[in-house]
Amino acid sequence: MLHGVLPVLLTPFTDTLDLDLPALQREIDWVIDHGADGVVMGMVSETLRLSSTERDRLAEATCAAADGRVPVVTSVGAESQVTAVAHARAAAGYGAAAVMAIPPMATDAGEDEVFRYYAAIVEAIDIPVVVQDASGYLGNGLSIALQANLHRQFGSRVCFKPEAQPIGPKLSALRDATGATAVIYEGSGGVALVDSYARGIAGTMPGADIVWAIAALWRALVDGDEAAVNRLNGPISTLVLLQSTLDAYVAVQKHLLVRQGVIPSAAVRGPVGYILDPESEREVDRLFDHLRAAVAG
């Protein structure tokens, strides 16, 4: 079972907005060195701004760069069931440990249609499928009943990443609806990690930029070190709360990866709905320095 700290990678681009695969290799090496238990390609990886060819190329490069050191989860969700299945098969062939799929967003599909979409992905591959309810910032939410039905039908072949608000109660409702047997991850970036851990999550999928801080908080939770939890939780949450949209997550996290020398460019594919202005950047840097001091103890 995938467990622990599973950071969502930022996709590095060159200044001409091509995939920067050498920078991706450095990012993967860096997060592993700083406590990652796995790596994930997800929405913050700008998946929806990639062509289908690029998505498969990125999945292949990520699996190659991880080189068996940690498991890889790749994002395969698409508007078309056929496309999602194709990406899932490609990822499985490259050696991914699991895939993750958001539901289609452009259509208001009924629950039976969405169930068939996920069932087709699960049945196409022999690795787990993480059902991602990304409705905190994208599309319609997935009902607890739908997710519980997927678990009832496919058991451990499906895992869950509920991101609908309110996160804590939704997570508990899904846990209870599956008899506490479903594997559930949280994706709040760290804001809800302490509360989510108490509700029985298997792991967290935060940003890659502060993986060292999230790993320290996770260890403190596992060890029952309440003093360390209290020292780390506030600074992590304050920094992550500045990231209120998908584009804000991307902009802030790429800025911090550049600042730490992990990737050479904070280039983002447009159009974007958030640009990190100089005053926001100063506040991000101030909170980052505060967090770094808190982790140092």
Q: What is the CATH number of the domain that holds 201?
A: 3.20.20.70
Sign of the Cα torsion 114, 115, 118, 121 reads negative
In a domain, 272, yes or no: no
Q: Which domain holds residue 57?
A: 4-223
In a domain, 287, yes or no: no
Residue 294, in any domain of the structure = no
- What pLDDT score was predicted for residue 141? 85
Give a yes or no: residue 262 inside a domain.
no
For residue 139, pLDDT beyond 70: no
Q: pLDDT tens digit string along 9-64? A: 999 999 999 999 999 999 999 999 999 999 999 999 999 999 999 999 999 999 99
Q: How many domains does the chain have?
A: 1
pLDDT tens digits, one per residue of 212-260: 999 999 999 999 999 999 999 999 999 999 998 999 999 999 999 999 9
- 293 assigned to some structural domain: no
Tokens in use for 81?
Answer: 């069931």
The single-letter code of the amino acid at 214 is I
Cβ–Cβ under 8 Å, residues 234 and 293: no
Asked if pLDDT for residue 160 goes beyond 90, the answer is yes
Give strand pairing partners of 75. 100
Given a contact cutoff of 8 angstroms between Cβ atoms, the answer to whether 193 and 217 are in contact is yes
Asked whether the beta carbons of 13 and 269 are under 8 A apart, the reply is: yes
Which is more confidently placed, 141 or 269? Answer: 269
Q: Which two tokens stand for residue 43?
A: 């929405």
Exposure string for 255-264, b = 16+ CB within 10 A, e = fewer: bbbbeeebbb
The reply to whether 268 falls in a domain is: no
Backbone angles phi, psi at 131, to 5 degrees: -85, 110
Task: Quote the CA–CA distance of 248 and 51 in Å, as a whole number.
Answer: 22
pLDDT of residue 125: 98
Q: Mean pLDDT lowest for which of 35-44, 127-136, 258-267, 274-283?
A: 127-136
Asked whether the beta carbons of 28 and 20 are under 8 A apart, the reply is no
Q: How far apart are CA 220 and CA 179, in angstroms?
A: 27
Spatial neighbors of 224 by CB under 8 A, at least 6 apart, are: none
Query: In angstroms, how far apart are the furthest CA atoms of the chain?
Result: 51
Within-domain flag for 39: yes
DSSP helix/strand/coil, 133: strand
| Chain centre to alpha carbon of residue 120 | 22
Q: Would you call 292 exposed, middle or buried from its count of C-beta atoms within 10 A (0-12, 13-18, 19+)?
A: middle
pLDDT digits (tens, 9 = 90+) for 63-120: 999 999 999 999 999 999 999 999 999 999 999 999 999 999 888 889 999 999 999 9
What are residue 130's DSSP bridge partners? 100, 159
Is residue 124 scored above 90 in pLDDT? Answer: yes
E strands present in the chain: 4-5, 39-40, 72-75, 98-101, 129-133, 158-162, 185-186, 203-204
The length of the chain in residues reads 297
Q: Does any domain span residue 165?
A: yes
